[in-house]
Each structure stands twice: as C-alpha cells, then as structure tokens.
Amino acid sequence: MELLKYEFIRHALYASVLISVACGVIGTYVVIKRITFISGGISHASLGGIGLGYLLGVNPIVTAIPFSLLSAVCIGIINRRLKVAEDTAIGILWTVGISLGIIFIDLSPGYAPDLMSYLFGNILTVPTGELVVMLVLDLIIISTVGIFHREFLAISFDEEYSSAIGISTERLYFLLLCLIALSVVVLIKAVGVIMVIALLTIPAAISKRFTYNIGKLFLLSTLTGVCCTVAGLWVSYMLDLASGATIVLVLGTVFLTVSLVKN
C-alpha cells in the first residue's frame, strides 16, 4: 500500500484497469473469431503512426490512432476486396507499417528518448493525458460493442450463415477491425507494439477455459487482465524488470497453469 503514495504507481494502476477493459471486450472476439494475427499485424503497423508522431513533434499515441485505423481498413480491403489471402494481407501491412515507422523516426530531428517504451511498453510512465485517451477509446469500444453485440457474435461464430440471413458481414468485419485498432492503441503504452498481441489474446484464452457464456467471458477476461497486469506490475517494480515483458510472462504463466490444472 505504501507504493500508492507515488503518482506514477497510481497512474499505472489506472492504466491496468483501462487496458484490461479493452482486452476483455475485444480480446474475446479476437479469440472466438480466431483473428489473433490480424491484431498482431495492426499492432506492428501502428509503429508507422508512432514514427509519424515523432516526425511531426506531437504525442505518438495521437498519431497512432488514425494510422492504426487506416491499417485495419487496409487489411480488410486487401483481404475482402482484392481477394488476397488474409495472412498475405497481414504480412504486407505488418512490414510496410514497421518500415514507415523506421523511416519517419529516421527523418525526425534529434533523438527519440522514449521510443523503447512504445516498442516494449512501460506502464510506469503513462502520463495523465494518455490515461484520458485510453478512457475515451474504452468508452468508444464499449459503446460500439453494446450496439452491435449480437451482430459481432453472429459473424464471429458463423460469418457465412450471418450473410445468408441478411447481416452486413463485410461492414461489421471492418468495424471489428477498427475496434481492434483502437484496442491496440490502448495497449501500446503498457506492453508495447511488439507484445500487444499477448494482452489481446491471453486473458480471453484463460477465461475461455472456464466459461462459454459470452457475458461471463467479457467479465472474466477483464478481471483476469486486471489481476495479471497488476501482478506483473508489482513483480516488475519489486525486481526492477521491464514492466511490459513481466506482465506478458505473468499472463503466460497463468495460462499454462490453468491449462494444466483444467486438463
């Protein structure tokens, strides 16, 4: 409890809750629809937006939002409209986004001192402004899922049947990709571009071992994310380890333990 007197610790705890909400809601759809690597492609492509922020001299998180959304839409267009295989579309955007990020950072004047926190995460350095951005993005995600929850479930379990009964599956697919993009932005500061995919999938994968009820899965995934993120934060602080990597290792350990016990 003594740690709570430090403002950066309180900010880290607030961030843990906010990122866990995004993990619990969107991560559930990612796991059910089996589009884990799409989320990975979007997260790595968002490096282009971070690099653009350095080049323009603005907060990289702000520029990462439209860049991530554009990457999500491009993956959908390449896959659905150009009839290119999904893994190929992911590979194209993954590498192009990273390449653009490197070019933008190389062109930006001076040195990028906190670049590593965007690549590998540092939840202990989340400022108040980014907490506000996380909160707004979480509210957008929750509101959109609340409106289209039944449709998202339909396309997650059986997209062909959903299309047959008149659901606009393509538009919903694009909307889901955009929500994944917003979730990626929420998670970047906590675990970095490299490891976003872990937080989007592991909490939902752990929770799926206990329930198939979607409402309970949302809640359990969120609670799992909060507990594991706070535990990883505490371990990283006490042992002076990288916070993002420690959080992911805690999540991986919990998943392995739960899987062994359930089996």
Instruction: Give me the residue label for tokens 């998670």.
Output: 187
Tens digit of each residue's pLDDT (9 = 90 or more) over 183-218: 999 988 888 888 888 999 999 999 999 988 888 999
Is the pLDDT reported for residue 38 higher than 90? no
Identity of the amino acid at 12: A
Average pLDDT over residues 250-259: 95
Report CA dihedral (24, 30, 36, 37) to the nearest 10 degrees. Answer: -120
The overall average pLDDT reported for the chain is: 90
Q: In which residue are the tokens 């359990």 written?
A: 220
- % of the chain exceeding 90 in pLDDT: 52
What are the start-end ranges of the H helices in the chain?
7-33, 36-45, 47-56, 60-76, 86-107, 115-120, 128-157, 159-164, 169-207, 214-239, 243-262
CATH topology of domain 2-262: ABC transporter involved in vitamin B12 uptake, BtuC (1.10.3470)
Q: How far apart are CA 224 and CA 26, in angstroms?
A: 14
Task: Convert the pLDDT of each residue in 25-36 to its tens digit.
Answer: 999 999 998 888
**Domain regions of the chain by residue span:** 2-262
Is the pLDDT reported for residue 240 higher than 70? Answer: yes
- Report the length, in residues, of the chain: 263
Q: What pLDDT does 1 receive?
A: 67
The model's confidence at residue 225, banded by pLDDT at 50, 70 and 90, is: very high
